[in-house]
Amino acid sequence: MRPRLLTALTAVVVLTATTAASCGDEGPDLALASAARNPVTEVIDAPATVTARAAATLTAPADGTVASLRVQPGQRVKRGQVLAVVDSPSAQQRLRQAKEALSAAKRAGRGVGSGSLTSSRRGTDKAASEAFDAARKAAEKIADPQLRNALLTQVTSAQQQYSAAARSADQAVRAVQRGINGLSSAVGALSAAQRLQAQQAYDLAKATVDALTLRAPIAGVVQPGGTRAGGGANAGLAGLLEQAGGAGLDPSALAPSQGGPPAGVDDAVVVGGLVTAGAPVLTVVDTGQLGLLAEVDETDVLLVKAGVTATVELDAVTGASYDATVRSVDVLPTNSAQGGVTYRVRLALGAGKLAEDEPAPTPRPGMNAIVHLRVREAADAVTVPASAVFSADGRDAVWVVRDGKAGRASVTVGVQGSDLVQILNGVQPGDRIVVRGADQVRDGQEVQ
What CATH number does residue 135 fall under? 1.20.120
**145 and 108 together in one domain:** yes
Contact at 8 Å (CB) between 183 and 176?
A: yes
pLDDT band for position 165 (cuts 50, 70, 90): confident
pLDDT band for position 21 (cuts 50, 70, 90): very low
> What is the domain-level CATH number for residue 229?
2.40.50.100
**109 and 188 together in one domain:** yes
Q: Give domain status of residue 412, yes or no.
A: yes
204 - beta bridge partners? none
Give the pLDDT of residue 25. Answer: 41
Contact at 8 Å (CB) between 286 and 307?
A: no
Q: How far is CA 36 from the centre of its chain?
A: 45
**83 and 216 together in one domain:** yes
**183 and 223 together in one domain:** no
**96 and 83 together in one domain:** no
- Give yes or no for residue 243 having a pLDDT over 70: no
Q: How many domains does the chain have?
A: 3
Contact at 8 Å (CB) between 91 and 64?
A: yes
* Dist. CA 98–CA 82, nearest whole Å: 26
Lowest mean pLDDT among 134-143, 209-218, 403-412, 419-428: 134-143
Q: Note if the pTM is more than 0.85.
A: no
- Give yes or no for residue 239 having a pLDDT over 50: no
- Amino acid found at 283: T
**187 and 218 together in one domain:** no
Q: Give domain status of residue 304, yes or no.
A: no
**100 and 159 together in one domain:** yes
Contact at 8 Å (CB) between 233 and 62?
A: no
Domain boundary among 168, 195, 222: 195
Q: Give domain status of residue 400, yes or no.
A: yes
Span 246-287, pLDDT tens digits? 334 444 334 334 445 555 556 667 888 888 888 889 999 998
Contact at 8 Å (CB) between 55 and 223?
A: no
> What is the domain-level CATH number for residue 415?
2.40.420.20
* Dist. CA 261–CA 211, nearest whole Å: 25
**189 and 222 together in one domain:** no
Lowest mean pLDDT among 64-68, 101-105, 323-327, 380-384: 101-105
Contact at 8 Å (CB) between 283 and 54?
A: no
Span 185-202, pLDDT tens digits? 555 666 677 777 778 788
Give the pLDDT of residue 163. Answer: 79
- Give yes or no for residue 80 having a pLDDT over 70: yes
* Dist. CA 195–CA 202, nearest whole Å: 10
Domain encompassing residue 24: 12-38+380-440
* Dist. CA 176–CA 223, nearest whole Å: 59
**223 and 165 together in one domain:** no
Distance linking the first and last C-alpha atoms of the chain: 37
* Dist. CA 86–CA 167, nearest whole Å: 36
Lowest mean pLDDT among 13-17, 173-177, 269-273: 13-17
Q: What is the CA radius of gyration of the chain?
A: 35
- Give yes or no for residue 236 having a pLDDT over 50: no
Give the pLDDT of residue 96. Answer: 87
Nearest to 333 by CA among 291, 299, 306: 299
pLDDT band for position 323 (cuts 50, 70, 90): very high
- Give yes or no for residue 371 having a pLDDT over 60: yes
Q: Give domain status of residue 435, yes or no.
A: yes
Give the chain's count of helices (H) and strands (E).
4, 23
* Dist. CA 48–CA 32, nearest whole Å: 39
Q: Give domain status of residue 386, yes or no.
A: yes
Give the pLDDT of residue 103. Answer: 82
Contact at 8 Å (CB) between 340 and 354?
A: no
* Dist. CA 104–CA 109, nearest whole Å: 9
Q: Give domain status of residue 310, yes or no.
A: no
**422 and 404 together in one domain:** yes
* Dist. CA 13–CA 272, nearest whole Å: 71
**405 and 389 together in one domain:** yes
- What share of the chain has pLDDT > 90, as a percent? 40
Contact at 8 Å (CB) between 295 and 47?
A: yes
- What share of the chain has pLDDT > 70, as a percent? 73
**244 and 188 together in one domain:** no
Q: Give domain status of residue 347, yes or no.
A: no
Greatest CA separation found in the chain?
A: 118
Helix (H) or strand (E) holding 96, with range, is helix 89-107
Q: Give domain status of residue 374, yes or no.
A: no
